[in-house]
Structure 1
C-alpha cells in the first residue's frame, strides 16, 4: 500500500484555521507544530503548488510594502472534504520513534 502524503493534510489543516502565506506555514513548522511534525520550504512550496493545481486550495497575491508580492493560500471546499476524509480514516500501525525524552521519562 502506498504511503499517504501526510504533509498535504497537515497544510490543509493549517489552512482550515486561517489563510497563510507559504512563509507563515514554514514558520508554523519551525515553531508551533515543529515538536511533532517537521517539514521545510523545499517540501512546502511544491506541495502548495500541487494542492492548488488539484483544486484543494486557492490563492491570492497581495503587494506587501512597496513591491513585495506575497501569495496567500486558502482552503477550498474540495480541500475541506479531503481533510475531513483523512481525519476519519483509521490510523495504520504506529512506528516506534527514537525519542530520547520519552525514553528517559520511561526509565
Structure 2
C-alpha cells in the first residue's frame, strides 16, 4: 500500500523539524564536513549530534564516508540548499509582515493615548 504524497511530504518535514538537523544541513551547504568540524560549529554533545546525523543519513538527505578514522558528511543533492534558501525567504516575508503589523499596533496605541 503506497503512502499518499501529502503524507510523505509531512514525514519529510517532520524529519527536518529539529534545530540541530537544520543547522547541520546549513553547514553542509558549503561542502562536505568531518564530524569534528560539525561538533565545533554546533554546541551539542557528540552523542546528540550522532543521533541527529543518523536521522539525516537514514532519510537519505546526507551521506557519510569514512576517511581513515574520520567520518565526513555531505548533502546528497543541491535541492536541500534550495529548500533552505526558500525557507529563509518565506521566514523573511513572514517576519516583515509581522513587523509591519507591530508598527501598526504601536501607531494605534500612540493615537489612542
> TM-score under structure 1 normalisation?
0.59
Closer, same or farther: CA 15–40 of 1 in aligned 2, 3 Å: same
| Count of residue pairs the alignment pairs up | 78
Where relative contact order (Cα < 8 A, 6+ residues apart) is larger, the structure is 1
Question: Aligned residue for 1:83?
Answer: 84
* Maintained 8 Å contact 1:13/1:83: yes
Q: Deviations over 1:38-86 (max 9, x none)?
A: 32212111111110111111121111xxxxx211011122533443343
**Runs of 4+ deviating beyond 2 Å:** 78-93
More strand by share: 1
> TM-score under structure 2 normalisation?
0.56
Larger radius of gyration: 2
Q: Distance in 2 between matches of 1:41 and 1:11?
A: 13
More helix by share: 2
Q: Structure 1: which 5+ runs fail to align?
A: 30-37, 64-68, 94-107
